[in-house]
Amino acid sequence: MMKTTKKRAVPLHEDPIRHIVWKGDRLDVIDQRLLPRRVRYVSCRTAKEVAKATTDMVLRGAPLIGCAAAFGMALAARSGRLKDVLSAEPLLRRARPTAVNLMHALDLMLAVAESGPKETLARRMADAAEKYCRDDIAYNARMAELGAALLKPGSRVITHCNAGALATAGIGTAVGMIRAGYLAGKVAHVYPCETRPYLQGSRLTLWELMQAGIPATLITDNMAAHLMKTVKIDAVIVGSDRIAANADVCNKIGTYGLAILAKHHAVPFYVVAPSTTVDFSTASGDLIPIEERSAREVVEVFGVPIAPKGAKARHFAFDVTPHELVTAIVTEKGVVSPADGQTLRKVVESEC
C-alpha cells in the first residue's frame, strides 16, 4: 500500500458539519462564536430566539441567516395563529440589516402563511422552511459545479471571511466552489484571509477546509498583496451578503480592498452567491447601508485587549465592491459575466 501523509479530501456529498438541525419543535444551531475551540449548540424554540441568535452572531452568513429565519417563521406558526407569524416577521427582519437573503426568506414565508387555512398553517410553514433549506443545499451544489469550471488547473486561491458550509445550509458558496475545484484538480492550495476583526477566516473557513481535507495556509488580511506578487495567486473567491441591481457586491469588510489588489495583479475575482442574494430593489452598491458593529470587537480579541485603554475604533462590518472589479458572479442559475446589471438580470430571471 502506498503511504501518504496527505489527508483524503472529503467528497462533496459527505458533510461532517451539522451546524443547523431542525427538530420540528426547535432549531438547533452551532454557536459559531465559540468555533473552532468549542462545538456547542444553541436551541431556539421561538422566532424571538432565532432573531436573537442571529443578532448575537451565534449564526452568521447570508444564506444561513435566510434559512434560520424561515425556521423562525415555522416556529411562530406552531401555534396555528396567523397573527403570531405576522408579529414574528418584523423581529426576524430586524435581526441583521445587510443579508438580503433574510428579507427574501421572510417574504416567501409570509406568502406561504397567507396562502391557506389556519388548520394547515404549522405544517405548511414547516414544509416551506425545510424546502427553503433543501433549495439552498441544491443551489450550493450547482454553484460549486459552475464555479469550479471557471478555474484553471492547479490554482492557488485566496478566500475571505467564511462563505462556507457554516454560512449556508449546504457546502457553502465560495468554499463550495473551492472544494469542488479541489476534487476536480482545479484548486491546488487555499489561502484564507483571517478576516479581522471577527476572524471568520481563521476560526471558521480554515477549520472547514481542514475538515474537508483541502490544503490551506492561513494569512493575515494584509498579506494578500504580497502573496499575489510573490507566491502568485490564480483567483480570489468570495461570497456576498447582498448584490445590488447593477451587480455591485456587498460583502465582509476587506473584500473591496482584495478586489482592488486582484485587479492590480490581473487576478480573476469571483463572487459566489445564490440568486436570493440579489436585491433588484437597490439600484447600486453605494445605496446599501453599511452595518457598524461594536468597536469592542476591534480593540479586543477573544476578550483580550490589544489596544490602549480608552482607544477609539471603527468597526465597519461590510464594504461594497463596484461591479467593474468583479470578473464573474456565480449563481445557481448561471455565471454572470461580465458582472453588470444587464447580465445579472438576464441570468437571475432565467428559468433553469
Element of type H or E holding 182: helix 174-183
Cell, residue 292: 457598524
Q: Is 289 exposed, middle or buried (0-12, 13-18, 19+ CB in 10 A)?
A: exposed
The amino acid sitting at 128 is A
Task: Tell me the closest approach of the beta carbon of residue 263 to its own copies, in angstroms.
Answer: 8
319 an active-site residue? no
Of the candidate spans 23-31, 106-114, 268-276, 307-315, the one that interacts with its own copies by CB under 8 A turns out to be: 307-315
Counting other chains too, the contacts that 90-97 makes at CB distance below 8 Å and 24 or more residues apart are 91/47, 91/48, 91/51, 92/47, 92/50, 92/51, 92/54, 94/51, 95/50, 95/51, 95/52, 95/54, 95/55, 95/65, 95/69, 96/54, 96/55, 96/60, 96/65, 96/291, 97/289, 97/291
**DSSP conformational letter for 118:** G
Judged by CB under 8 A, does residue 269 bind its own copies? Answer: no
Residue from 230, 266, 351, 352 touching its own copies (CB under 8 A): that is 230
Residue from 42, 103, 183, 193 touching its own copies (CB under 8 A): that is 193
Rg (CA), the chain: 20
Residue with cell 447580465: 343
Nearest to its own copies of 55, 220 (CB atom): 220
Nearest to its own copies of 185, 289 (CB atom): 289
Nearest to its own copies of 229, 232 (CB atom): 229
Task: Tell me the closest approach of the beta carbon of residue 298 to its own copies, in angstroms.
Answer: 6
**DSSP conformational letter for 336:** E
Over the window 37 to 76, marking each residue x when it contacts its own copies by CB under 8 A and - when it does not, the resulting string is x---------------------------------------
Nearest to its own copies of 93, 263 (CB atom): 263
- Coil, strand or helix at 191: strand
Task: Tell me the closest approach of the beta carbon of residue 188 to its own copies, in angstroms.
Answer: 14
Task: Tell me the closest approach of the beta carbon of residue 304 to its own copies, in angstroms.
Answer: 5
Neighbours of 169 (CB within 10 A): 25
The Cα–Cα gap between 100 and 76 comes to 21
Half-sphere exposure of 240 (CA within 13 A, CB side): 32
Task: Tell me the closest approach of the beta carbon of residue 240 to its own copies, in angstroms.
Answer: 15
Judged by CB under 8 A, does residue 97 bind its own copies? Answer: no
Of the candidate spans 21-29, 85-93, 240-248, 258-266, the one that interacts with its own copies by CB under 8 A turns out to be: 258-266
Task: Tell me the closest approach of the beta carbon of residue 233 to its own copies, in angstroms.
Answer: 13
Judged by CB under 8 A, does residue 149 bind its own copies? Answer: no
Question: Where do contacts with its own copies occur on this chain (CB under 8 A)?
Answer: 36-37, 193-197, 199, 202-203, 206-207, 210, 216-226, 229-230, 253-254, 256-257, 260-261, 264, 290, 298-299, 301-302, 304-314, 316, 319
Q: Just list the catalytic residues.
A: 241
